[in-house]
Amino acid sequence: MSRRIASTRSTVVSAAERDIRSRLGTHDLDFTAMSAVSNIYRAGTAVRNHMERTVLGTAQLSWAGFTVLWVLWIWGEQETGHLASDAGVSKGTLTGVLRTLQSRELIERRAHDDDRRRVSVRLTRAGERMIATVFPEFNRHEALAVAALSRAEQNELARLLRRVQHHLDDVENSH
């Protein structure tokens, strides 16, 4: 399988995009949209992989585990359904993540008094210490990831990506 489209070199990616146009040019496709979306995906994957290899790997946290700790740190105790949604994972994935975090004594699960099927999750003191220690380093690597952009470009990128997300939310909610 070709690694050209996953390259970090812009000249290689540009050549790959030309190859794609050449191969699919007879189809009625929106190549500009294809390029934009594939670059969103590649950039997100590159950031995630970098964070997992560096900051999160050192802390022995998965991306999902880190995100769960961060959500609980910012917004406090959460029911599992809300936590899965806020962390951007399925309820099934959340179950495994919570099992791992609980085994490390970073979170506690608690059944509700009135409905035992409802479970809330909160950080333990160890979980609070973990996220308070990891997040500043994570943020330093966030800054590193966008260091090639000016502050104005970073703001514009964030604004444009929010626009894409809001539009897709609107599309999903209209169905």
Tens-place pLDDT, residues 11-28: 877 787 777 777 776 777
8: phi then psi, degrees, rounded to nearest 5: -95, -5
How distant is the alpha carbon of residue 128 from its chain centre? 20
Q: How many CA atoms lie within 13 A of 115 on its CB side?
A: 5
Tell me what pLDDT residue 15 has: 80
- 143: number of Cβ within 10 Å: 9
The C-alpha atoms of residue 79 and residue 83 are separated, in whole angstroms, by: 6
Residue 1 confidence class, pLDDT cut points 50, 70, 90: very low
The CATH classification number of 60-173 equals 1.10.10.10
Instruction: Enumerate the domain spans of the chain.
Output: 60-173
